[in-house]
């Protein structure tokens, strides 16, 4: 990988041998391996010791989870907040495991819509809750640094499954509790909904 990065620097018109760039290939390799470490993480390994049987059927929310990911189209970062909720049927997930689950899927080459779905689908698969909701708000550097160059834009995606999709009151309670910056139109099909806006 370091050899490829040296070649890339040369193609960009730089001198890979100059002082400031001598260790850049090593640093970039280390950074990229960390930013894509989700490929090496196993969901079952992360969650298997933190699924608990409980008699609880009210909403569980973990909000304002910071996440950082790389856009698969330009390899530029997108980052923001993730809000996760579920209504247990018989099992709950240890609270610290939900941010870890977000990391597993965000530390890959991604698009925000798929990332949102993967988190929601995994929770549904692992604990079979009455409902799952995931909302992600992110700034995309591929929009602000290049392309349309809109620095104040952000994108909101949501995936509403089970009770959050079927029950408008439950859905609105969740959105109110996370105090979303912009109204998110809930999907009636269970597919992620994107609402990209400019402030």
Tens digits of residue pLDDT in 26-81 = 999 999 999 999 999 999 999 988 999 999 889 999 999 999 999 999 999 999 99
pLDDT score at 130: 97
- Above pLDDT 70, what percent of the chain? 87
Domain 44-198: top CATH class: alpha beta
Domain ranges of the chain: 2-35, 44-198
Distances in Å between the alpha carbon of 60 and those of 111, 130, 135?
A: 26, 11, 14
Catalytic member of 73, 125, 151, 191? 73
Please indicate whether residue 83 is annotated as part of the active site: no
141 pLDDT exceeds 50? yes
CA distance 145 to 154: 13
Catalytic member of 82, 83, 118, 140? 140
Catalytic member of 82, 112, 137, 155? 112
Please indicate whether residue 71 is annotated as part of the active site: yes
Please indicate whether residue 110 is annotated as part of the active site: no
CA distance 163 to 184: 16
Catalytic member of 6, 113, 142, 173? 142
Q: How many residues can be counted in the chain?
A: 199
Please indicate whether residue 155 is annotated as part of the active site: no
pTM, full prediction: 0.87
Please indicate whether residue 2 is annotated as part of the active site: no
Q: Which of 130, 122, 112, 129 is nearest to 167 (CA)?
A: 130
């Amino acid at each position: 990988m370091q050899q490829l990065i040296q070649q890339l620097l040369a193609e960009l018109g730089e001198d890979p041998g100059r002082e400031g760039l001598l260790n850049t290939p090593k640093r970039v390799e280390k950074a990229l391996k960390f930013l894509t470490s989700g490929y090496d993480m196993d969901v079952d390994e992360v969650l298997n010791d933190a699924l608990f049987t409980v008699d609880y059927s009210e909403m569980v929310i973990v909000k304002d989870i910071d996440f950082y990911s790389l856009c698969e189209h330009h390899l530029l970062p997108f980052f923001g907040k993730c809000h996760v909720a579920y209504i247990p049927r018989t099992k709950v997930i240890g609270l610290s495991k939900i941010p870890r689950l977000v990391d597993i899927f965000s530390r890959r080459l991604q698009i925000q819509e798929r990332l949102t779905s993967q988190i929601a689908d995994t929770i549904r698969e692992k604990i079979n809750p009455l409902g799952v909701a995931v909302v992600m708000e992110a700034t995309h550097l591929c929009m602000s640094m290049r392309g349309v160059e809109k620095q104040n834009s952000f994108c909101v995606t949501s995936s509403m499954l089970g009770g959050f999709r079927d029950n408008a009151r439950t859905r609105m309670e969740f959105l109110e509790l996370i105090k979303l910056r912009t109204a998110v139109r809930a999907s009636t099909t269970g597919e992620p909904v994107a609402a990209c806006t400019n402030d």
